[in-house]
Every structure is written in structure tokens, then in C-alpha cells.
Amino acid sequence: MNLDLVNQIANAVLYEGYMLYPYRPSAVKNRQRWNFGVLYPPAFAQTSRGNESSSMQTECLIGGNRETTLEVRVRFLQLIKREVAKVIETGKLELVDSLEVDGQVFQSWEEVAERDVIVPPTRLNELAFEPSRVRFEFPGGESSEAIAATDRAVILRKSETLNGAVEISTQTLTRSLTKLTVRILNETEINADANRDGALLRSAISTHTILGVGGGEFVSQFDPPAAFRPFSEQCVNNGTWPVLVGDEGSSDTMLSSPIILYDYPQIAAESAGNLFDGTEIDEILTLRIMTLTDEEKREMRSADERTRQILERTESLPAEQFMKMHGAVRGLSRTPAGKDERA
């Protein structure tokens, strides 16, 4: 398994929609979080009248035998509320949207923490007799950080407790074919009247699953062989879609993502790095970042460590790297007449 390639794709999915151009918290589109693959607390999902969900389900096919093993890894982001406060008198704080100290802007924002749930390897035949249920919990917490060069302002961070479960089961279809079901559930308690912002702090965001198999192979759900198509059509995927990942032709790893991809997705070699914006076009976004005013760039630089990296990478982008974003021709083949054509 090409772990580097798998992780590149998984990380691109993880941060898709994390922050949108123009990459500033003050921008209207960034005042309300939107992401793919959000699993809300059940109480909030129930009040949304079917518009939101607290669970997702992956089903796919595995060819193997009694010794075939399965690995499951669930990844998502959890929001951390960041607030800026001025010390107005001993022991008292006043929250503000932003604060400038020594030319640097500090802003209230929602940071994220990466969460991983790793399920120990299990044999498929064991799961057929006894489905697995692995609970997870990420405790909440609070912290404060004095803003450098002053004792009159602080940054406050708060995360809420998030808990849930990963359920794994299998169904034997033939002697050499198994249907795998993986369900991810958010089981965090929350008041039924909680608003969306409060629910998001207790949600799993950009949730996706990496599946690995030893001594067997996954069957493409996107383009299954004709013999397996009737079984593939019985697979039910809710809120996510599994595709083969890794080197072309490999079948030991699947990524089940809330974003629909083709088998063997790849990061374009011309891309200088992740830009987070949904369905991003690197050249257009890079040009737009270059046209931001100095004040807009200052806000972008102070919003978040990841947006600061985007800005610094864009400002130092070599001309030859930028030109590569303009377009590339791939897949040329030689015709019998001796002419090149696009494959």
C-alpha cells in the first residue's frame, strides 16, 4: 500500500471546505461553517427534519478467505472555539471579535483538531459471527494563552466532549466474497433546542474512513466486474462513497469519503498545496490571493496557521510553478497513422 499517496488524498478530503476564499473570518461565507461529512449529535439531527445526520454508513465488497484481515481507521475534525478577550480589570474579561497588538491582529475563530479512531485488525470470519462495536470519546477542555507583549489580553480556547462509536459487521455472500458494513455514529448528548453553532462544536466534521485489507482485495464499488455487479448494487452507502486508493491497479485500500471520487484519485503534480476551497481550481484561487489588499492579507495571515501557510506559499510561488497550473496534457497515445491524439 502506498501510504504517502493514501494520506495525501485523505488529508485533502479532511480539509475540504475548511476555510473558503478570501480566507478571512470576517468574510460572510466564513462566518458560518460548512463542511462535507458532518455527523451531528442525534438530538440536533432529529430536529433538522432529515436535513442533517448523526451517522454514516459504508458498504463494499471484499474478496478473500477465512484468514483475510480488515483494518479500519476513521478520521474527522473537531472544532475548537477560539475567542479573544481584553482584561478590563482583575479577574474580568471582555470578549472582542478582534484585537490588534503590535501590528498583529488576533481574531476570534474556530480552530480544529484532527481526530483518529483506529480499530485493531480483525479477521472477516470473526466479524461474521460477532460484529464489532468500538466506542470513542474525546474529552472537552478549556485553556487560556496570554497574547505576547501584553498582559491585557488573552486567547481563550474551548472544546466540547465528543463521543460516538464505530460499528463493523460482515455478511458472507459466497465462499470467497463478503459484504462489509461500517457505520460511524455520533452519540454525543446535547439539548434538543441547541442551535447549529453549538451542535457543530459537538460534531464530527469531514468524517471519512480508510479501509485496509490483508490477504484479500476490495472490489471496486465505482466500476465492479460484471460477475459482482448484482452484489455491488445491494450495497447501501449513506453520506459517504468508497473508492479504491493507492497505486493504479492495487486493491488493498479503500477511502470512504463524503466527497464522491473516482477510483485511484490523485493530487495533481501541478498543485503547490491544499487551498481548502470546495472544488478548487488552483490557478484561479492563486491569482485571487495575489490580488488581495495588504489589509486583507494581514487578516488572512493572522486568521489561522493553515491560511498563513497558504498566503506565504502563494507569495513565494516561482513563476515556473505558477505556469504549470495553467494546464497540462496527459495520456497521449500514438495512432496507427502516426499522429498523436488524446487517449
Per-residue pLDDT tens over the stretch 207-241: 999 999 999 999 999 999 999 999 999 999 999 99
Q: What is the pLDDT of residue 323?
A: 63
- How far is CA 314 from its chain centroid? 23
316-337 mean pLDDT: 59
Taking the mean position of all CA atoms in its chain, how far away is CA 298?
27
Distance CA 221, CA 243 (A): 7
Q: Which of residues 191 and 255 earns the better pLDDT score?
A: 255
Angle, in degrees to the nearest 10, between helices 305-315 and 294-303:
140
Scanning the structure block, which residue is given the C-alpha cell 498566503?
Answer: 311
User: Distance of CA 331 to CAs 45, 87, 176, 222, Å?
Assistant: 45, 61, 36, 21
272 has a pLDDT exceeding 60: no
Q: Is the pLDDT of residue 263 over 50?
A: yes
Q: Between 272 and 91, name the one with better pLDDT.
A: 91
| Exposure letters 88-115 (e unless 16+ CB within 10 A, then b) | eeeeebeeeeebeeeeebbbbbbbbeeb
Query: In the predicted model, what is the mean pLDDT of residues 280-294?
Result: 73
Tell me, what's the pLDDT at 139? 96
Are the C-beta atoms of residues 151 and 87 closer than 8 Å to each other?
yes
Q: How confident is the model at residue 92 (pLDDT cuts 50, 70, 90)?
A: confident
Q: What does the domain layout of the chain look like in residue ranges?
A: 3-318
Q: Which of the residue ranges 4-8, 48-52, 79-83, 132-136 has the most confident prediction, judged by mean pLDDT?
A: 132-136
Mean pLDDT for 189-200 is: 88
State how far the Cα of 49 lies from the Cα of 100, in Å rounded to an integer: 43
pLDDT band at residue 328 under the 50/70/90 scheme: low
296-323 pLDDT, tens digit each: 888 777 777 778 777 778 777 766 666 6
Mean pLDDT over 34-63 rounds to: 90
In the predicted structure, residue 340 carries a pLDDT above the cut 50: no
- For 24-47, the pLDDT digits (tens) are 777 777 777 677 899 999 999 988
Q: Per-residue pLDDT averaged across 1-10, rounded?
A: 76
pLDDT higher than threshold 60 for residue 337: no
Separation CA 76–CA 59 (nearest Å): 19
Residue 8 buriedness (CB in 10 A; 0-12 / 13-18 / 19+): middle
**d(Cα 70, Cα 119) in Å, to the nearest integer?**
9
Q: Region 174-200: what's the mean pLDDT?
A: 92
| Per-chain mean pLDDT for the chain | 84
**Span 53-65, average pLDDT:** 95
pLDDT above 90 for 80: yes
Q: Give the Cβ contact number of residue 131 at 10 Å.
A: 13
Q: Which three cell numbers stand for residue 242?
A: 468508497
* Position 98 confidence tier, pLDDT thresholds 50, 70, 90: confident
Q: Which carries the bigger pLDDT value, residue 307 or residue 113?
A: 113
* Residue 170 in this model has a pLDDT that exceeds 90: yes
Whole-number Å distance between alpha carbons of 160 and 140: 4
What integer pLDDT is reported at residue 43 of this predicted model?
92
Average pLDDT over residues 58-71: 93
pLDDT at 341 over 60: no
Q: Is the pLDDT of residue 8 over 80?
A: yes
Confidence (pLDDT) at 131? 94
